[in-house]
Structure 1
Amino acid sequence: MFDAVRNNKRIVQGFLVLIMLPFAFFGLDSYFNGGGAGAGVAKVGDVQISQQEYQQALREQQDRVRSQVGQVDPKMFENPAFRKAILDDLINRRLLLIEAGKRRLYVSDEAVRNAIASIEAFHENGKFSTQRYEALLRGQGMSPQGFEAQVRQDMTLQRLAGSIGQSGVLSTTVGERVLALQTEQRDVQEILLGLDAYLGKVKLADDAARKFYDENGKRFETPDQARAEFVVLSQDGLEVKVSDEEIKAWYDGHKDRYQQPEERRASHVLIATEGKDKAQARAKAEQVLKDVQATPAAFAEIAKKNSDDPGSAGQGGDLGFFGRGMMVKPFDDAVFALKEGETSGIVESDFGFHIIRLTGVRAAREKPLAEVRGEIEKELKASAASRKFAEAAEAFSNAVYEQSDSLQPAADQFKLKVQQSGWLGRQADPANGPLANAKLLAALFSDDAIKNKRNTEAVEIAPNTLAAARIVEYKPAALQPFDSVKAEIETLLRNEEAFKLAVADGQSRLAELKKGEDKQAWGAAKRVSRMDASRLPPPAVPAVFRMNTDKLPSYAGVEIRGTGYMLYRLNKVEAGEKLDDVRRQGLLGQLRSLAAQEDMQMYVSALRSRYKVEINEKALNSSDR
């Protein structure tokens, strides 16, 4: 408990670094009205959504999908529905920001600073690092000002969403009824009419396979493939040297960063008050204090036996070294008032009563250059490599474009190795390393690259990493011979016909069951609920929970592609077990969240009708291309 607070206090200390940052915070107005030149893809009220903004949102969503799904057909991203969803999201976001501005919802500079400082990606050694922050943003092509504006914007939207969500109320009656439905238990039996039982009845026409082959030729094409050569220019691969003089100059100019304040080491016994009678807790603390005063050398054993702090009790109450301000104030004040070896009286904090022993003191000091040399060298090298890569990237791009019939000149200029790939398809495969990038593959399989075997453009395949490729050998798409796929087609057609027979038989049996003629050999009963329907095939779940419960038994049938037809008999419906309070409140919270989402959707729909939304189809199509 107390240990966790101590760790969080260390993170809070890191936030203070932000005060020194030269933030140039922008208001929402400037974010709205900026957007670059050229016709926007849409207009919301008086505010345009620029092509640049749309393209950035499109790239971000594509990257998000690839990171979650992995290999993705690039054609998916060309789907009009996918692109419309991106634009709709931008429009909705803009509507909400306009409304937030009218409501005068404000996010303070301090709140934005704290939010950024809490992002662990910007931390080094547990503290916010200005250099790391700026370097990571540069790697993503962003400025601190632009990122800070985005953070402010997101926090504003969260505040607006919170106010809308809090205004909605989930009826207790409705909530309890939904929970009852979720936990309701149903006893069902099933029969599978599988394909195997009907395959013997299938008779294919002599020319059926050939006809299917002729009508569905695309299904039997082997996709085009290529072998390629490629070069990769990476910031990490650039040779950068830093002199002793540069390191010394940096150290001398930033000595304030290397001041280490006084630290103290303490052990404590915590008698917690949460959920306990406070007077009894104090009485126990007083007794522990007497024990400590009687036998100071036994402090560790007393802490192991009595302390309620799980993070330190096992170590005899030891909290290690920490600086001023890293503990809650009463504890902090007591520790820094003690002399080494002294034990405090009873110290009260929000966590309970503490008996504290000061076990060590480290005086404030300046870290010597020898101690921080490696850290400075690493930082200076990263900064120099970033500058060098920015210069090299432009020259690399020009080299692969201007000498488009070979990658060797670019490789020679930047001391890179021309690498060879195996056979590649158009879809990204992580096994292909640098050539798993969808944008690079799209360039490699472009008409110009295929026909003329020209270099692709330099493509950013990762932060601070560019690659270019060219085709060495190409195999166009080819239709597989009929004889090689005939057996596969016949199996497919037999299964399709068997499925039709299973469905027809199943529907016939279902009609008899509904008339009261139940002569089926049902399987063992299964008990299922909406919360736990894992014993049912996914396609059967909706059908089972839609079955009539007024008169039992009741029956349903479900088509399951590739498997057959399932018949279900519902025998009994019972109330589910009573949920414990924690789980019940958790589920009610989920229901409230869903209700809040629905409220937000209705709210956005109302905003769409309140503000004029225009979509510039011509600009949108141009942006898509």
Structure 2
Amino acid sequence: MSKMTNKAVIIISAIVVLAAAGGISAYYLLRDRGVAAVVNGVKITEEKVAEEVSKSAAQYEAQGMALQPAQLEQVRSSVIENLITREVLLQESASFVIPDEEINEKIASLQSQFESDEAFNEALASQGYDPDSFKEVILQDMKIQKLIEEKVPEETTVTDEEILTFYKENPAYFTEPERIHASHILVTVEAGDDDEKKNQAKAKIERISEELKNGADFADTARRESEGPSGPQGGDLGEFTRGQMVSGFETVAFALPEGEISGIVETQFGYHIIKVHERFPESSVPLEDVRESINSYLVQDKNQTKLKDFLESLKNAAKIRIPGIKDEKTTEEV
């Protein structure tokens, strides 16, 4: 199965196969259990919408984010749109035939990802499925997949001109930020240290600084004296860009010329002495180095656009009615 088709089915099925379970929120218990939308005569009920909104809300709550009524309304709108899209696709793909053995193979593949049959069945039950209803959902998904594969053939070609245009129009994507290669020696000071410990740390870093000024090797000194995790590596921090180190350390490090050693720098971690080995100015990544990644991105973008256009064409051709919203083609309301 192609990457595009995989993604299409995941997008279309997202509302149906949500990972979190939960009861219908109190907010939606207050909503009239009527019809949320009608697609070519097929009703999407408020009960179904409330069920899927509840699952989505449970996902947020599992991450410690409780949705407010206004946010729930946004989720509801998204759920309705997804259910409408799915219903249009189900109707369009109704004539496709999927052999029972292919459906069973798909289910077996999913089931193999669980430790046991019991764990698989518990997962189904947590989402409100039994084996039969889950099999029906898999059948629907496979029909949709087959429809998309037939009606939206995968795009695989991108021209050199398209790649070059994208490269020129998006320079920020292909810019390597300024970076430096540096080492440091750290004498730590903990947040709760008393003045005596702070003074001892200050005396130690001052002694180290004098030794370096007198010609001591930086890496050897770091291995012997540094209290930071990079000490065994001679204090080597590797290469880094702005924003990766604490501000005081960064300011001094990026101001140092190559080969220079700083004075004593104080941060919340303690006292540092920094040596910059090499500086790398901001630069553009050569086109040839990113040609393949641009090609992949543009192919994916083309396929997503084709899929979106196909879905829009199906919905535009369908008779879709939503309570309180007039259908521009019929001027009817549900």
Give the alignment's TM-score, normalised by structure 1: 0.28
Counterpart in the other structure of 1:305 = 224
Code of the aligned partner of 1:43: L
Determine which of 282, 288, 293 is the counterpart of 1:375.
Answer: 293
Aligned to 2:302: 384
The 5 A counterparts of 1:195-594 are 232=146, 233=148, 238-274=154-190, 275-276=192-193, 277-296=197-216, 298-310=217-229, 312-392=230-310
Code of the aligned partner of 2:53: A
Deviation per CA, 1:261-312, whole angstroms, max 9, x where unpaired? 321111001111004411110111111222323334x2122212222222x2
User: Is residue 264–residue 362 contact of structure 1 (8 Å, CA) maintained in 2?
Assistant: yes
* Aligned-residue offset at 1:357: 0.5
Cα separation, 1, equivalents of 2:250 and 2:313: 57
The 1:324/1:239 distance shift into structure 2, 3 A limit, reads same
How far 1:379 moved relative to its partner?
A: 1.6
Equivalent residues of 2:163, 2:295 under 8 A apart: yes
| Deviation for aligned residue 1:249 | 0.8
Q: Kindly state the Cα deviation for residue 260 of structure 1 after the two structures are TM-superposed.
A: 2.4
In structure 1, the residue matched to 2:109 is none
Distance 1:53 1:262, change over 3 A: same
CA contact (8 A) 2:183 2:237 kept: yes
Aligned length: 201
Give the letter for the 2:164 counterpart. K
What CA deviation, in whole Å up to 9, does each residue of 1:400-444 have, x standing for no partner?
Answer: xxxxxxxxxxxxxxxxxxxxxxxxxxxxxxxxxxxxxxxxxxxxx
Task: Provide the aligned C-alpha RMSD in A.
Answer: 4.1
Distance 2:149 2:225 in 1: 57
How far apart are 1:239 and its partner, in Å? Answer: 3.5
Greater relative contact order, per chain length (Cα 8 Å cut-off, separation 6+): 1
Q: Higher strand fraction: Structure 1 or Structure 2?
A: 1
Map of 1:43 onto structure 2: 30
Determine if contact 1:265/1:361 at 8 Å carries over to the other structure.
yes
| CA distance 1:59–1:328, change in 2 (3 Å) | closer
What TM-score does the superposition give when structure 2 sets the normalisation length?
A: 0.50
How far apart in 2 are the matches of 1:392 and 1:240? 17
TM-superposed CA distance for 1:394, in Å, is: 7.6
Work out whether 1:54 is the aligned partner of 2:50.
yes
Aligned partners of 2:155 and 2:302 also within 8 Å: no
Superposed CA deviations along residues 336-387 of structure 1, whole A, max 9, x for unmatched, are 2211111111111111100110111112212221122222222211111112
Letter in 2 for 1:307: S
Instruction: Call closer, same or farther: CA 1:255–1:41 in 2, change over 3 Å.
Output: closer
Q: Is the 1:234–1:389 Cα contact (8 Å) retained in structure 2?
A: no
CA distance in 2: counterparts of 1:309 and 1:58, whole angstroms: 49
Distance 1:281 1:262 in 2: 32
**Amino acid of the residue matched to residue 198 of structure 2?**
K
Answer whether contact 1:41 1:51 (CA < 8 A) is retained.
no
- Partners of 2:226 and 2:235 within 8 A in 1: yes
Looking at structure 1, the residues matched to 305 and 198 of structure 2 have their Cα atoms a distance apart, in angstroms, of 61
Matches within 5 A, 1:155-234: 232=146, 233=148
1:390 deviates by 3.1
Contact residue 303 and residue 313 of structure 1 kept, 8 A: yes
Q: CA deviation at 1:255?
A: 1.4
Is residue 219–residue 234 contact of structure 2 (8 Å, CA) maintained in 1?
yes
| Separation (CA, whole Å) in 2 of partners of 1:141 and 1:353 | 56
C-alpha distance in 1 between matches for 2:224 and 2:165 = 53
Q: C-alpha distance in 1, partners of 2:57/2:172?
A: 42
| Divergent runs of 4+, >6 A | 228-231, 234-237, 394-397
In the alignment, is the contact (CA less than 8 A) between 1:238 and 1:389 conserved in 2?
no
The superposition leaves residues 139-198 of structure 1 with CA deviations (integer Å, 9 ceiling, x where unpaired) of x969xxxxxxxxxxxxxxxxxxxxxxxxxxxxxxxxxxxxxxxxxxxxxxxxxxxxxxxx
Aligned partner letter, 1:306:
E
| Alpha-carbon distance in 2 for matches of 1:57, 1:355 | 55
- 301-310 vs 352-361, which deviates more? 301-310
* Counterpart Cα distance in 1 of 2:199 and 2:28: 68
Could you tell me how far 1:259 is from its partner in structure 2?
2.6
Residues 309-332 of structure 1, C-alpha deviations (whole Å, 9 max, x = no match) = 22x223211111222343222211
Matches within 5 A, 1:600-611: none
Alignment match, 1:189: none
- Which amino acid is the alignment partner of residue 377 of structure 1? N
Mapped to 1, the partners of 2:177 and 2:198 lie a distance apart of 36
| Paired letter, 2:225 | N
Displacement of 1:388 after TM fit? 2.0
Choose 1 or 2 for highest CA Rg.
1
Q: Say if 2:155 and 2:299, in contact at 8 Å, map to a contact too.
A: no
Letter in 2 for 1:254: N
Say which SS state the counterpart of residue 336 (structure 1) adopts: helix
Closer/same/farther in 2, CA of residues 141 and 338 from structure 1, 3 Å limit: farther
Measured after TM superposition, the shift of residue 246 of structure 1 is 0.7
